Amino acid sequence: MTAPLHEPTAEAAPSAAEEAAVAGAEAKAVQGRSLGRIAWERLKRDKLALAGGTVVLLLIVIALLAPVIAHLVGQDPEAHHEDLIDPLFGTPTGSLGGISGEHWLGVEPVNGRDIFARILYGARISLLVGFLSAIVAVVIGTVLGVLAGFFGGWVDSLISRVMDGLLAFPQLLFIIALVSVMPNNMLGLTGTGVRLFVMILVIGFFGWPYIGRVVRGQTLSMREREYVEAARSLGAGRFYILFKELLPNLVAPIIVYTTMMIPTNILTEAALSFLGVGVKPPTASWGQMLSSAIDYYDSDPMYMVIPGVAIFITVLAFNLFGDGVRDALDPKGSR
């Protein structure tokens, strides 16, 4: 290739990598706007995604302030109110599962715990497991994905095979089995703490191949791009290329896959608690509330509807936001 041709190619390289660049200062592709800015402007126009993002923010605030809100309302998630329970049927007295000015979402059958306070506290468990297990998956997936894509050879084939195998696995069954054989106390944690810790680790462990596969693919294609070649020809070392040239361009796909992974993890946590291998009562979690609601689906349907709707709204909000982020960061997207 001749020199005059080579120059523009090197200049154009960042725009070729625009599907990955998010806020890099070098990525000024269209009319001097950075890709991060383009993405943000696209996202701002996507009303559904914004609505999802708002609900997500609200949920995070609720989860963080759960004790404060519960205290303000004057309810304790683990306090019993047996006086509100029909002694004959075990269901709450009053209509719609005992909804009243005092108990905004009613009370649980049998022990009469306040459902509103339990939903608040359940949000903490859901979001905690959802976010932290996503972080576990992102860290493992990024490290191994970059290693596989960057070094190639036997490192790549080994990591790729492991990823294929894990992806083909019936994950829920393995997660359940693994969570259930884990000990009840370890590393100084007991009870709910250890269950959360184990759930986060196991869900994260089964999630990393999704990230790893994408990161590997991106790294593989970027490794051969001109701007990496240019850096190499200027004498840049492996680590410089890895951290300064490749990783910044991987931020976008990682963000997209992380936002898509959180709702899945929340569903998995709820499923585990629903099946009785996750968080145990009296600690409140949405899945566990649903599972105890099975016995009352005909006599107290509100008890089943409320945690179900809570899970639905949370997951839907994350999904809407995730879809929006994906569309906004996709250079091929027309909007």
Partner 1 sequence: MLVVIVMVVFSIFFLIPKWAGVDIAASFVGKQADPASIKAVGEKLGLGDPIYAQVWEFFRGIFVGRTYSGGGDVTECAAPCFGYSFRSEQAIWPVLTDRFPVTLGLALGAAVLWLIFGLAAGVLSALKRGTLWDRGAMIVALAGVSLPIYFTGLLSLAAFSYGLGWLDAQYVPLSDSFTGWLGGMILPWITLAFLYAAMYARITRATMMEILGEDYIRTARAKGLREGVVIRKHAMRSTMTPILTMLGMDLGALIGGAILTETTFSLPGLGQAVLNAIKNQDLPVILGVTLITSLAVLIANLVVDVLYAVIDPRVRLA
Q: Which residues bind partner 1 (CB under 8 A)?
A: 161-162, 164-174, 176-178, 180-183, 186, 263, 267, 270-271, 274-277, 287, 290-291, 293-294, 297-298, 301, 304-305, 308, 311-312, 315-316, 319-320, 323
Closest approach, Cβ 3 to partner 1, in A, equals 32
Alpha-carbon distances, residue 325 vs 142, 182, 318 (angstroms): 19, 36, 10
- Select 12 or 167, whichever has its Cβ closest to partner 1: 167
- Select 71 or 161, whichever has its Cβ closest to partner 1: 161
- Select 78 or 323, whichever has its Cβ closest to partner 1: 323
Alpha-carbon distances, residue 286 vs 124, 200, 280 (angstroms): 10, 16, 11
Shortest CA distance to 20 belongs to which of 41, 2, 3, 35?
35
Closest approach, Cβ 230 to partner 1, in A, equals 30
Closest approach, Cβ 34 to partner 1, in A, equals 26
Closest approach, Cβ 109 to partner 1, in A, equals 15
Closest approach, Cβ 313 to partner 1, in A, equals 8
- Select 73 or 128, whichever has its Cβ closest to partner 1: 128
Q: Is 32 helix (H, G, I), strand (E, B) or coil?
A: coil
The residues, ordered by sequence, that sit 6+ positions from 31 with a Cβ below 8 Å of its Cβ are none
Whether 278 and 272 have beta carbons less than 8 Å apart is answered as yes
Q: Is 186 helix (H, G, I), strand (E, B) or coil?
A: strand
Q: Alpha helices of 275-332 — where are they, by DSSP H?
A: 286-293, 301-329
Whether 207 and 213 have beta carbons less than 8 Å apart is answered as no
Alpha-carbon distance of 163 to 141, in angstroms, equals 9
- Select 98 or 287, whichever has its Cβ closest to partner 1: 287
- Select 169 or 243, whichever has its Cβ closest to partner 1: 169
Closest approach, Cβ 172 to partner 1, in A, equals 6
Q: Where are the beta strands (DSSP E) in the chain?
A: 28-30, 33-34, 185-186, 189-190
Closest approach, Cβ 281 to partner 1, in A, equals 15
- Select 69 or 178, whichever has its Cβ closest to partner 1: 178
- Select 140 or 247, whichever has its Cβ closest to partner 1: 140
The radius of gyration computed from the CA coordinates of the chain, to the nearest angstrom, equals 24
CB atoms within 10 A of CB 173: 9
Token couple for 183 = 């000990």
Q: For residue 139, what is the enclosing H or E element? A: helix 115-151
Closest approach, Cβ 275 to partner 1, in A, equals 6
